[in-house]
A = this chain, B = another copy of it.
Amino acid sequence: MGASLKDVAARAGVSVKTVSNVVNGYTYVAPHTREKVEKALAELDYRPNLSARNLRRGRTGVIALALPELDAPYFAELSRFVIDAAAERGWTVLIDQTDGLADRERQVLQGIREQLIDGLIFSPLTVGREELAARTDNTPLVLLGERILDGPTHHVAIDNQRAAREMTEHLISLGHTRIGAIGAQDNPSANTAHLRLAGYRQALEAAGLPYDDRLTPSTRSYHRADGAEVMRRLLALDEPPQAVFCFNDLLALGALRTALSAGLRVPQDVAVAGFDDIEDGRYSTPTLTTISPDKGQIARTAVELLDARIGGTGRAARRAEGDAAEVREVEADYRLIVRESTVGTAGA
């Protein structure tokens, strides 16, 4: 075990308190004393023991980021931003992967890591309002990506429904009348999917186009393989769609692959659009039309909200303020980005 405050104090010939003062940059320390202490500190290569400090202060400087899978590019990119934003506040981020499993998500809410983390940023896939309300753990929480209306917690998300509507309108404006959607979910608490589907239907309706549920097959998850497979089914229909709106970019990349290897030209034979604006879609051939949520803004906002919730003074104070503070729902920005997969310029 490294040197402790006591060791340093002994070596410098002062009290622990004085060393502590120096370490924590308190003001009133005589220059001479300070010097002695700093020398001892350096000689012993002192490093504060965070467990002890945390125990005393009642906070740890660690927050958790819980998300379905780190290896889905959208989450990887988002994590990057969250970690950076947290680092600016001197926080360290610890990652919890839920795999989108209901059980694991519930565990996260109940605070597996409690007392180790000062706060939690959580991107749920399946848990709903009830689970949230049932939460007994009172670690500050900010939700991401889901829009659980009137939920009891801070959250930040884009307007999924509006974004989906815009994308569908884009496809309609291109003259397509038979438009598929990939990514509907059977799970009734898959909020995001429902909102995107709702946006899609709204746009169809507004344009007077019929809704055909054969064109909106649900998928098991949101990976490339799901998109590839469902696209095969869509293309096998008597009347295949002229365009497909995929509820995330991975699905779109999978769908793209299926279309291209079937010898179809994209977008001439079938247009493909995604959602999330992951980097892959900027380099695929054709490049991918998509909705680009402002991930940096989402991350920064989440961290800020959490910071406000955690407050400056440890658990006791937090509890007092926290409960009083009202819940905030922040809507993040997004943009529709039109690329080759719907308007095609390249030779593909």
Contact = CB atoms under 8 A, between A and B. Distances in A.
Contact of A283 (B54, B254, B315): B254
B282 A224 contact: yes
Interface in A60-75: 60, 62, 69-71, 73
B92 A94 contact: yes
25 contacts: A1-B316, A1-B319, A45-B136, A47-B111, A47-B114, A50-B113, A50-B114, A51-B52, A52-B55, A62-B94, A69-B80, A70-B76, A70-B79, A71-B73, A71-B76, A71-B77, A87-B97, A92-B94, A92-B96, A93-B95, A95-B95, A224-B283, A257-B287, A260-B347, A260-B348
A79 B84 CA distance: 17
Interface residues of A, number: 60
A283 B257 contact: yes
Interface of A: 1-2, 45, 47-52, 54-55, 58, 60, 62, 69-71, 73, 76-77, 79-80, 83-84, 87, 92-97, 111, 113-116, 136-137, 224, 228, 253-254, 256-257, 260-261, 263, 279-280, 282-285, 287, 315-316, 319, 346-348
A70 B83 contact: yes
Contacts of A96: 92
Contacts of A50: 113-116
B55 A51 contact: yes
Contacts of A348: 260
B347 A263 contact: yes
A257 B84 CA distance: 29
A96 B346 CA distance: 39
Given A51-B55, A76-B76, A92 B115 contact: no
Given A51-B52, A94-B95, A224-B282, 6 more contacts: A48-B115, A51-B51, A70-B80, A73-B73, A92-B113, A261-B346
A94 B254 CA distance: 31
A319 to B, nearest CB: 8
